[in-house]
Amino acid sequence: MLVSTNRIIAFYYAIFLSDYIGLNRIVCGLNNKKMPYLHLIDEAIGLLNIEIRIVKWRIKYPEQFQQHANKLFLSPLHLDDKTSLVNIMEIVSGLFLSKRIVYQNGKPVHLTDLGKAFEWLFI
């Protein structure tokens, strides 16, 4: 099962609490004007309801959620344990300063994007 049992129990507990809060509001006559923080509680309950819906979809359609995880392409290259990250950064800096690495539109690449590309390449 993709979703852990503890997470499902937590979501059902959240459903119970949201129902309990709703019933208390009806019985006690509470509204957002009397207690302004109830709006924040309503927003939190809304987020929990969306999370619960996602969990139910993951249980009902596991293949749809699994496809996105399998699309990640892992690089066949890995750094040796003896490799210093400073040496890799020197290579990245040299390529960046050469201005020979560009985006598809011809603009020079940013150092952070070049660093992320090397990070993907060797991890």
pLDDT digits (tens, 9 = 90+) for 33-65: 666 677 777 788 888 888 888 888 888 887 776
What torsion, rounded to 10 degrees, do the Cα atoms 59, 63, 66, 72 define?
-170
Q: Establish if 65 belongs to a structural domain.
A: yes
Q: Are residues 55 and 90 in the same domain?
A: no
What per-residue confidence (pLDDT) applies to 94? 92
Q: Establish if 106 belongs to a structural domain.
A: yes
Q: Establish if 77 belongs to a structural domain.
A: no
Q: Establish if 21 belongs to a structural domain.
A: yes
CA–CA gap between residue 104 and residue 87 (Å, rounded):
27
Q: Establish if 63 belongs to a structural domain.
A: yes
CA–CA gap between residue 14 and residue 49 (Å, rounded):
9
Q: Are residues 64 and 102 in the same domain?
A: no
Domain count, the chain: 2
Q: Establish if 18 belongs to a structural domain.
A: yes
Residue pair 109/103 in contact (Cβ under 8 Å)? The answer is: yes
Q: Are residues 11 and 65 in the same domain?
A: yes
Q: Are residues 15 and 54 in the same domain?
A: yes
CA–CA gap between residue 66 and residue 11 (Å, rounded):
21
Helices marked H in the chain: 5-28, 38-60, 62-70, 85-98, 111-122
What per-residue confidence (pLDDT) applies to 102? 92
Q: Are residues 24 and 65 in the same domain?
A: yes
What per-residue confidence (pLDDT) applies to 28? 58
What per-residue confidence (pLDDT) applies to 54? 86
In which residue ranges of the chain is pLDDT below 70? Answer: 1-36, 65, 67-73
Q: Are residues 95 and 54 in the same domain?
A: no
What per-residue confidence (pLDDT) applies to 1? 47
Q: Establish if 17 belongs to a structural domain.
A: yes
State the amino acid at position 71 in one-letter form. K
Domain that holds residue 57: 5-70
Q: Establish if 75 belongs to a structural domain.
A: no
